[in-house]
Amino acid sequence: GTTLGASAAESGRYFGTAVAANKLSDSTYVGILNREFTMVTPENEMKIDATEPNQGQFSYGNGDRIVSHAKGQGMRVRGHTLAWHSQQPGWMQNMSGSALRSAMLNHVTQVATHYKGQLYAWDVVNEAFADGGGGGRRDSNLQRTGNDWIEAAFRAARAADPDTKLCYNDYNTDDWGQAKTQAVYSMVRDFKSRGVPIDCVGFQSHFNNNSPVPSNYQTTLSSFAALGVDVQITELDIEGSGSTQAALYQRVVQACMAVARCNGITVWGIRDSDSWRSSGTPLLFDGSGNKKAAYTSALNAL
Ligand code: XIL
């Protein structure tokens, strides 16, 4: 294929990007988006603070705009994200206990119902595990409502939108030897054994010098897939430039291609200037929208 999306499709996979609704009027941005990508993740527009800014008052305008653009171009959409410790609206940040548990479940139900049948997958829960060697849950107001908050969120999402894949999504879960990776693996194994509805695991894969592409990345993907879930690379960006960066992109794409249940890869932005990172050049297109060496190596590895 001559584009990321077309090449990924040759093996039944997708190639996606994060999209910001306020950039849909940028013609360079939209030109690359429509040409190259077959999956879209709203970068912020489906998060809790965006979709329920006041308790019980839902706001879907920007999320709907992205879904409508994607559909018009024959692209699919990954929903991101229903339950997370971050980007909570003020009203939720101040809640705890059973009131917060009910508010979280109501949020999951309402938002999943609004998008019912329209999305390829939902990141139901994002970043619920702690960094470091402990292998435990991240402390948060949601975690303090009880250890079963994650499965409660998945059950509510399944009840509201039965045909959309439901994913757990996290970062620093790429290295098979890390405690955080093993902790998420144990949770997914437990969910599968008890019939908690989970269909996929998302690996954010934000790589840099402190968090390099691990040598066992493919082992991580295949080990999770062996539990009976799909795996997806959901927020890929790799710090660096030139041939070094290109080689790393190639390795990540090759790892996904080698795992049958790795359905697709999403990069976290289009041009370097679209990246959430405050500095650096972690994406596939430069600030002017030109293809980088990393683009070519990713394309050739598909
Ligand atoms: C980031 C967005 O890219 C930024 O625009 C926003 O200010 C903060 O969030 N992990 C995630 C994403 O799951 O939602 C984050 O996105 C990046 C890290």
Q: Which atom of ligand 1 is nearest to the CA of 275?
A: 3
Query: Mean pLDDT across the stretch 154-159?
Result: 99
Cα–ligand 1 centroid distance for 269 (angstroms)? 10
Ligand 1, atom nearest to 206 Cα: 18
- Give the mutation target among 124, 268, 278 for probing the ligand 1 site: most ligand atoms within 8 A of CB: 268
Parallel, antiparallel, or unpaired for β 262-267 and 76-84? unpaired
Name which residue sits closest to atom 1 of ligand 1, judged by CA.
Answer: 276
pLDDT of 47 reads 99
Q: pTM of the prediction?
A: 0.98
Give 234 Cα–ligand 1 centroid separation in angstroms: 11
**At 17, phi and psi to the nearest 5?**
-145, 155
Index of the ligand 1 atom closest to the CA of residue 234? 13
For helices 149-160 and 97-114, angle between their N-to-C axes, nearest 10 degrees: 30
Distance CA 210, CA 194 (A): 36
Confidence tier at 198 by pLDDT (50, 70, 90): very high
Atom of ligand 1 nearest to the CA of 47: 14
DSSP conformational letter for 292: P
**C-alpha distance from residue 244 to each of 240, 251, 284, 300 (Å):** 7, 11, 13, 16
The distance in angstroms from the start CA to the end CA of the chain is 9
Q: Which atom of ligand 1 is nearest to the CA of 126?
A: 13
- How does the average pLDDT of the chain come out, rounded? 98
What digits encode the pLDDT tens for the residues 174-195?
A: 999 999 999 999 999 999 999 9
What are the tens digits of pLDDT across the range 48-83? 999 999 999 999 999 999 999 999 999 999 999 999
What pLDDT digit, counting tens, does each position of 209-234 carry?
999 999 999 999 999 999 999 999 99
Confidence of residue 260 (pLDDT cuts 50, 70, 90): very high
**Alpha-carbon gap, residue 195 to 230, rounded angstroms:** 16
CA 110 to chain centroid, in Å, comes to 20
Residue 53 pLDDT: 98
Mutate to test the pocket of ligand 1, among 87, 208, 276 (most ligand atoms within 8 A of CB): 276
Instruction: From 251, 288, 253, 247, select the one nearest 267 (Cα to Cα).
Output: 253
| For residues 97-119, average pLDDT | 99
The alpha carbon of 258 and the centre of ligand 1 are apart by a number of angstroms equal to 28
Residues 138 and 128: their CA atoms lie apart, in Å, by: 5
Helix then strand then coil, in percent of the chain rounded to 5, is 40, 20, 40
Q: Residue 229: what pLDDT? A: 98
- C-alpha 80 – ligand 1 centre gap (Å): 10
- Choose which residue among 19, 23, 43 to substitute to test ligand 1 binding: the one with the highest number of ligand atoms within 8 A of its C-beta: 43
C-alpha 252/C-alpha 256 separation (Å) is 7
Give me the percent of the chain exceeding a pLDDT of 90: 99
**Catalytic annotation, residues:** 235
- The alpha carbon of 86 and the centre of ligand 1 are apart by a number of angstroms equal to 9
Ligand 1: residues whose CB is within 6 Å? 43-44, 126, 204, 235, 276
State the distance from the centre of ligand 1 to the C-alpha of 44, rounded, in angstroms. Answer: 7
217 Ramachandran zone, left/alpha/beta (phi>0; psi -120 to 50): alpha
Helices (H) and strands (E) in the chain, counts: 11, 9
